[in-house]
């Protein structure tokens, strides 16, 4: 059985730089009505970038909603109409000072599908070209190179809590383990 909800009415509550909030009235499959608060978001991209020694590029930055610094992969918001691959290449260089001519898609994820339509595209590269960091105005972060398997352990130990970073590291770990074992 396929489950669905039908939008009956949509009211714009707030339009910001990053999010667009709506309050929708929907009809459930049993015929009753309820409301859904929905955040529309253009989506984002993160990049797991490894150097030739299998060091992973991470960024440490303050995340205001959590009131603390997080260790995470370089990432950024898609501009409307921008291709994810283009965004990933741009964000990697802006945040880390590295670029790559070859990003490979690891997959995509829905970070919080209960209330937003955001999709995050996850890329990886093992071919880095050093350039110059180009942070946006008001963006402050520290680039950290850490051995991949140390990052993997931190994810597994619950020290790295950022979801996009966790998923990218776990997926990349599976690929690297297959490469090690010749699969």
- With a cut of 80, say whether residue 43 has pLDDT above it: yes
Q: Which domain holds residue 120?
A: 44-180
Q: Given this model, what pLDDT does residue 138 score?
A: 86
Do residues 54 and 92 share a domain? Answer: yes
Q: pLDDT tens digit string along 101-122?
A: 999 999 999 999 999 999 999 9
Do residues 12 and 75 share a domain? Answer: no
Do residues 82 and 169 share a domain? Answer: yes
What is the pTM assigned to this prediction? Answer: 0.93
- With a cut of 70, say whether residue 48 has pLDDT above it: yes
Name the token pair of 86: 């283009």
What is the end-to-end Cα distance of the chain in Å, rounded?
38
Do residues 79 and 169 share a domain? Answer: yes
Contact criterion met (CB below 8 Å) for 94 and 135: yes
Average pLDDT over residues 170-182: 82
Report if residue 77 sits inside a domain: yes
Do residues 87 and 141 share a domain? Answer: yes
DSSP annotation of 24 reads E
How many domains, in total, are found in the chain? 2
Dihedral of CA atoms 87, 158, 177, 130 in degrees, nearest 10, equals 40
Do residues 35 and 118 share a domain? Answer: no
Do residues 32 and 74 share a domain? Answer: no
Do residues 14 and 81 share a domain? Answer: no
Instruction: Produce one character per residue of 65-103: b if its CB has 16 or more CB atoms within 10 Å, e if not.
Output: eeeeebbbbbbbbbeeeeebeebbbbbbbbbbbbbbeeb
Q: How many Å apart are CA 52 and CA 133, to the nearest integer?
A: 20
Name the token pair of 143: 């680039």
Report if residue 1 sits inside a domain: no
Do residues 65 and 102 share a domain? Answer: yes
DSSP-derived secondary structure for 93-157: HHHHSEE-S--EEEEEE-S-TTTB---EEEEEES--EE----PPTT---EEEEEEHHHHHHHHHT
Residue with the two structure tokens 């590029």: 57
Helices 148-156, 163-180: axis angle to 10 degrees equals 120
């Amino acid at each position: 059985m396929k489950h669905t909800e039908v939008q009956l009415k949509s009211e714009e509550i707030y339009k910001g730089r990053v999010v667009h909030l709506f309050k929708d009235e929907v009809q459930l499959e049993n015929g009753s009505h309820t409301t859904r608060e929905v955040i529309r978001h253009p989506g984002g991209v993160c990049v797991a970038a490894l150097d030739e020694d299998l060091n992973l590029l991470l960024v440490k930055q303050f995340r205001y909603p959590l009131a603390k610094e997080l260790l995470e992969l370089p990432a950024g918001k898609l501009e409307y109409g921008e291709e994810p691959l283009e965004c990933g290449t741009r964000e990697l260089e802006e945040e880390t000072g590295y670029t790559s001519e070859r990003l490979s898609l690891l997959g995509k994820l829905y970070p919080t599908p209960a209330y937003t339509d955001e999709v995050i595209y996850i890329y990886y590269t093992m071919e880095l070209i050093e350039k110059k960091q180009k942070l946006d105005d008001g963006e402050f972060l520290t680039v950290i190179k850490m051995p991949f398997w140390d990052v993997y352990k931190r994810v597994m130990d619950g020290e790295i809590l950022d979801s996009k970073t966790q998923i990218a590291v776990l997926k990349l770990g599976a690929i690297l383990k297959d490469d090690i074992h010749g699969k």
